[in-house]
Amino acid sequence: MLPLQIRQLAVCIDNKALLHNIDLTLADKGVSILMGHNGAGKSLLLRCMHGLIEPAAGSLQWAGIHATDINSRHRQAMVFQKPLMLNRSVAGNILYVLKLRNKPKDRLQQHLQTAELESQSRQSARSLSGGEQQRLAIARALACEPEVLFLDEPTANLDPEATQKIESQIHHATGKSIKVIMVTHDVAQARRIADDVVFIHKGAITEHTKAKTFFTTPESKQAHDYLAAYVKPV
Amino acid sequence: MTTFSQVLSEVAMLLSGPDPDLIEIVGLSLRVSVTATVLACLIGLPLGALLAIRPFPGRGLCTLLINTLMGMPPVVLGLMVYLLLSRSGPMGFLQLLYTPTAMIIAQFALVLPIVAALTRQQVEDSWKDYCDPMHSLCVPTTSAVQTLLWDNRLSLLTAALAGFSRAISEVGAVIIVGGNIDHLTRVMTTAIVLETSKGDLPLALALGVVLMTIALIINALVFSSKGKLA
Amino acid sequence: MIKNILLSLSVLLSPCLTHADNLADDKTVLLQSTTSTANSGLYDYLLPVFESQTGIQVNVVAVGTGQAIKNATNCDADVLLIHARESELEFVSQGYGIERHDLMYNDFIIVGPQSDPANIANLNTISDALTAIADTQSIFISRGDDSGTHKKEVSLWNNADTDPTIHSGKWYRETGSGMGATLNLAVGMNAYTLTDRATWLSFKNRGSHRIVIEGDESLFNQYGIILVNPAKCPRSNVESGQAFVNWMISETGQSLIEQYKLNAQQLFYPNASQ
């Protein structure tokens, strides 16, 4: 469903323009990362891309289809910052989506496997650890068999081992040529998995560059300062 | 003066031999209140959930109304159902006054606002977490209602119990629409009123103890089933 | 349309019904009755006999006489059995009832605490007794519910030329409740009250209360029985209702009433004119 084309997008909440003059084109597969300070509007832009928020102005289209159109949203899946665990078993959480999307039930095992949750399949989802919950949320999103996967800070507050497992799930997704668009604060992680980076500052995009370029020679001063703060020796 | 030892000996008397009259009364109490509660849940659960997740004009007013109806005095409701079902009333042709069905209708109307209001509050609270994921998955409203009801099943079981407690313990409505007719519409609470009016306070209190024992058993059954539902 | 919805609803509800629930059955009579006859156990004694002789089941709704008349006026009765002669005649003259029959009688009594604070136990007439209660401002509990007993009490105060209602809330206290609840209150408050003898004899929470006044002619308590008029109430079950009224005033019914005793005391005296 690529490319995603955003033209002169603005989003207002309570009469405040939280996103403005957004122009962006995402044409390539792989992992696109949205970076920026807290409150810059990264999560908001992610929601707009997924069609959950109607923009105040401008246009946002997936291969020419409006983002809020149900036909484009059906081909996407999103994992929110605080993933929702349905009050049922681990398997029940994935079966819920398989049933909703009319997918065969026997794909359950394969999704559990990718998420490394086979042994917990009958356990209550809400009794899982933070990392396991996040993996289940991603597995559930992948059970939709989307073409685009949105991830909102999937590894916030996770230890390195749990983070590594999530990243391998992401890797698995891109291997199936699913486009991943993800918000993260973790610069090291972004370096590991990003193909391109979009930097947002105070509701506007300051740059969109290939990952290699971004981490060595960022174009915008804001991105430069952000990275500098991160690598500053302790 | 009525002493507790008198009450206890009456309780022992009531429970010692299986008195067919008592069994009949207990059976009817359960039949009426359980049926009323089940029907009220069938409508009240989805209604409450819809109120919580589906915005429409007048939703606030609906919520206010249902919350207020929770405090409806059973006597007033009984009178309204009586006027409706009376042979000279608009639904007199159904010939339902002074039948267990009339009692079920009255208790259904008493329980419905309780189930709907408690469901609405519970579902609204969890909807905050479910709203975005449900929209993201494009879940249709009817499925969202089902999902939220199932995911909140433990809290909603308590809501149903609250409704059942209201039904099994009320006397004002059933005595008016049921008439406390022996072997036809006499239930635990109306029997207690009758024995009180006969001045047989130990028997009245003993019946109260039996009623509470039954309520205890039902609560225990529900409590023990919670583990299986979780 | 609404009728159809309701009918389908009642079909939905019908699995939880048994055939015995159906009041529309020809073989049932709906009797609106005063409480004293029900609470004293008279119906438990009479109705099984009637049922076995005729196959007709009588469903008794026991409420105060005022409420019974109101319910019957709403057609929620086939037969009315109460004790307030004037209201009964009015009910018939308004066309709600076909004919009123005297059925039986007993008497009212005044019960009060053992200590008898107004000192009325040795007075001869009810009027003197009520005057003494008013003068000493001894607590008197009134039904205050438009029942047959309450109507009788009001007429007794009238005869004594006293209006107790101006003292309502002080020594004159109106419960607005049934006879049983009122007796419970009188016992609890050490107060006097007017009751029919049948209710008193079958009442179990008497405490140390006793009968202080009885036997005055004006304490006569007549019960009447009325068949509800099908012309006003087309849904009433007139055939079975008539059978019940006829049986109650027949020799069989009357002699059974005569024979009914509680603790070896007769509660009702049959006096139907044949």
pLDDT digits (tens, 9 = 90+) for B142-168: 999 999 999 999 999 999 999 999 999
CB < 8 Å & 24+ apart, contacts of C2-11: C3/B93, C6/B91, C6/B94, C7/B94, C10/B94, C10/B96, C10/B101
Domains contained in chain B, CATH given: 27-188 (1.10.3720.10)
For residue B45, what pLDDT is reported? 98
In this predicted model, what pLDDT tens digit does every residue of A58-89 receive, in sequence order? 999 999 999 999 989 999 999 999 999 999 99
Please answer yes or no on whether A78 and B136 come within 8 Å at the CB atom: yes
What's the CATH number for C107-219?
3.40.190.10
Q: Which residue of A has its CA nearest to B144?
A: A100
Please answer yes or no on whether B94 and C39 come within 8 Å at the CB atom: no
For residue C15, pLDDT beyond 70: no
Percent of chain A with pLDDT over 90: 87
Are both C2-106+221-270 and C107-219 of the same fold? yes
Structure tokens at C27: 């073989």
For residue C17, what pLDDT is reported? 46
Chains touching B by CB (3 or more pairs below 8 Å): A, C
Torsion of CA C265, C270, C271, C274, to 10 degrees: -160
Q: Which residues does residue A89 pair with via DSSP β-bridges, in sequence order?
A: A124
What average pLDDT is seen over chain C?
Answer: 90
In this predicted model, what pLDDT tens digit does every residue of C68-110 receive, in sequence order? 999 999 999 999 999 999 999 999 999 999 999 999 999 999 9
Q: Which of B132, B141, B147, B149 has the highest number of chain A CBs within 10 A, making it the mutation to test binding with A?
A: B132
Please answer yes or no on whether B200 and C204 come within 8 Å at the CB atom: yes
Q: Which residue of C has its CA nearest to B200?
A: C204
Q: Which residues does residue A4 pair with via DSSP β-bridges, in sequence order?
A: A26, A62
Cα-atom radius of gyration of chain A, to the nearest Å? 18
The whole-number mean pLDDT for each consecutive block of 10 residues of chain A, a chain of 234 residues, reads 92 90 93 94 95 92 92 94 94 97 95 95 95 96 96 93 95 95 94 95 94 91 89 54
For residue C18, what pLDDT is reported? 43
Residues A197 and B56: their CA atoms lie apart, in Å, by 41
For residue C22, pLDDT beyond 50: no
Structure tokens at B32: 């009426």
Structure tokens at B48: 């409450």
Task: Pick B147's closest partner by Cβ from A52, A78, A86.
Answer: A86
The CATH class, in words, for A4-231 is: alpha beta
Please answer yes or no on whether C233 and B88 come within 8 Å at the CB atom: yes
Question: Looking at chain A from residue 112 to 141, which residues have their Cβ under 8 Å from any Cβ of chain B?
Answer: 124
Least confident of A188-192, B12-16, B39-43, C166-170: B12-16
For residue C5, what pLDDT is reported? 47
Structure tokens at C269: 């005296």
Please answer yes or no on whether C76 and B98 come within 8 Å at the CB atom: yes
Task: Pick B101's closest partner by Cβ from C7, C13, C235.
Answer: C13
For residue A232, what pLDDT is reported? 56
Length of chain A as a residue count:
234
Residue B103 buriedness (CB in 10 A; 0-12 / 13-18 / 19+): buried
**Contact C25/B at CB under 8 A:** no
What average pLDDT is seen over chain B?
Answer: 93
Partners of B132 on chain A (C-beta within 8 Å) are 47, 52, 80, 84
For residue C19, what pLDDT is reported? 40
The CATH class, in words, for C2-106+221-270 is: alpha beta
In this predicted model, what pLDDT tens digit does every residue of B76-93 receive, in sequence order? 999 999 999 999 999 999
Of C40, C63, C50, nearest in space to C201 by CA: C40
Least confident of B48-57, C3-12, C126-135, C221-230: C3-12
Please answer yes or no on whether C23 and B99 come within 8 Å at the CB atom: yes
In this predicted model, what pLDDT tens digit does every residue of C4-13 receive, in sequence order? 544 544 544 5
Please answer yes or no on whether A86 and B129 come within 8 Å at the CB atom: no
In chain A, where are the structural domains located? 4-231
| Mean pLDDT across C23-33 | 82
Q: Which of C40, C76, C145 has the highest number of chain B CBs within 10 A, making it the mutation to test binding with B?
A: C76
Please answer yes or no on whether B101 and C183 come within 8 Å at the CB atom: no
In chain C, where are the structural domains located? 2-106+221-270, 107-219
Q: Which residue of B has its CA nearest to C78?
A: B87
For residue C273, what pLDDT is reported? 82
Q: Where are the alpha helices (DSSP H) in chain B?
A: 4-16, 20-53, 59-69, 74-85, 100-136, 141-151, 153-169, 172-178, 188-197, 201-229
Chains touching A by CB (3 or more pairs below 8 Å): B
In this predicted model, what pLDDT tens digit does every residue of C175-215 receive, in sequence order? 988 999 999 999 999 999 999 999 999 999 999 999 999 99
Please answer yes or no on whether A77 and B135 come within 8 Å at the CB atom: no
Please answer yes or no on whether B181 and C61 come within 8 Å at the CB atom: yes
